Amino acid sequence: MSRARENADGARLDAPLASPTFTGTTTVSGDLVTSTPMSHRNILINGAMTVAQRGTSSTSSGYQTVDRFKSAFSTGGTWTQSQSTDSPAGFANSYKNECTVAETDMANMGYAMIQQKIEGQLLQHLDFGTASPKKFTLSFWVKSSLTGTHVCQLHAPYIATTEYNSHAYTVNVADTWEYKTITWTGDTGDVIPNDFESSIRIYWFLAAGNAYGSGTLTNDLWHTTTANRAAGQVNLAGTVGNTFYITGTQLEIGESATPFEHLGYGRELQRCQRYYEKGGGSTVWGHPINRSGTGYRRGHLWFKVTKRATPSATATGGTNDGTQSHTTQGMIVMWNSVADSSHVEIQSWTADSEL
């Protein structure tokens, strides 16, 4: 004899569902679907510092380790940048910069900073250049050797006068992870070009000499005065061994920060490969240009992700003689002398279209 199935509370699972009953008045405040995106709301790429295609440590500046984040130092000490596993709860990695040669002369110091550059086509929803540009909020986790004032800045190179908008935040406890948020108001004067070029850059200053920090910091005010860019910034370049870690960087529309959006390594890697991609161990067939026993050959390499712009490219291995015909989708590797019907294995290759 069959028995009716019951759940843990004793209710029959095969019983018909009762119609819902409401008492009182039910109202909904605001939109059922928010006006800000629920997915991919973070304008920044690789904010959790999970992708590091080029390597995990470097004593050079520029794009060297964590993808989409660039170290920039102009007589602001010497630094080692790395992908670190020192991170706050909820994150596995951070971006670390450590001072290895100090600079204390503020009169002659330029700056030390880390940055991410953002394409114009990713910023159209901010409504710059209108009477009511959107407010947008940056949130991040930071761990610094020095307490006190640190400066984060927007740089708008697409504007003819090259405008800046700086904002101070305070590190309260040295060598301790702290969560920070900064809200900015968009610029009413100039429309952000809808293109693939660098339109907004976010700078986290580590140090700033008199040329960049001798003025007055005005939070959330667009200006053109270089001396006001990082006024009050502590000098992390002043002592060898000072460190600055950052992770969980998120830039989104609105006046309040939302929890960090983890997209996962695979999706972040794809987004990073738009700007930089590398490969290796590829078997590339050299198609003959003539039919002699040994002749000029070309082999095609196709990128996994279409590049932002025509990349600079390299290929090593197989005694190849360089690359040519670069496009946003692939490139050609060439050889001057390869046996007919043979193939060559490329040891490594890169395609770089960083901003």
pLDDT tens per residue, range 250-281: 999 999 999 999 999 999 999 999 999 998 87
| CA angle in degrees (0–180, nearest 5) for 271-275-278 | 95
CA distance from start to end of the chain:
73
pLDDT single digits (tens) 204-251? 999 999 999 999 999 999 999 999 999 999 999 999 999 999 999 999
Q: What pLDDT is attached to residue 348?
A: 86
Q: Could you identify the residue written with the tokens 């693939």?
A: 196
Q: Could you identify the residue written with the tokens 């991170």?
A: 87
SS3 assignment, position 124:
helix
Neighbouring-strand partners of residue 202:
116, 154
The helix or strand, by DSSP H or E, that contains position 132, with its residue range, turns out to be: none
pLDDT single digits (tens) 156-210? 999 988 899 999 999 999 999 999 999 999 999 999 999 999 999 999 999 999 9
Q: Hey, what are 165's tokens?
A: 């908008």
Angstrom distance (rounded) from CA 141 to CA 139:
7
Percent of the chain clearing pLDDT 70 (strictly above): 82
Outline which parts of the chain fall under CATH 2.60.120.260: 57-271
Q: What pLDDT is attached to residue 24?
A: 52
Query: Which CATH number applies to 57-271: 3.50.50.100, 2.60.120.260, 3.30.70.120, 2.120.10.80?
Result: 2.60.120.260
Say if residues 155 and 164 touch (Cβ distance below 8 Å): yes
Q: What pLDDT is attached to residue 5?
A: 44
Angstrom distance (rounded) from CA 169 to CA 150:
5
| CA angle in degrees (0–180, nearest 5) for 204-208-211 | 130
- One-letter identity of residue 277: E
Say if residues 335 and 343 touch (Cβ distance below 8 Å): no
162: left (phi over 0), alpha (psi -120 to 50) or beta: left
Name the architecture of domain 275-352.
Sandwich (2.60)
Find all residues with CB under 8 Å of 297, minimum gap 6, and list them. Answer: 286, 287, 288, 289, 334, 335, 338, 344
Angstrom distance (rounded) from CA 288 to CA 196:
36
- Give yes or no for residue 283 having a pLDDT over 90: no
Outline which parts of the chain fall under CATH 2.60.40.2080: 275-352
User: To the nearest whole number, what is the mean pLDDT of the chain?
Assistant: 88
Angstrom distance (rounded) from CA 71 to CA 95:
10
Q: What pLDDT is attached to residue 35?
A: 59
Average pLDDT on 298-303 reads 84
106: left (phi over 0), alpha (psi -120 to 50) or beta: alpha
* Local confidence band at 73 (pLDDT 50, 70, 90 cut-offs): very high
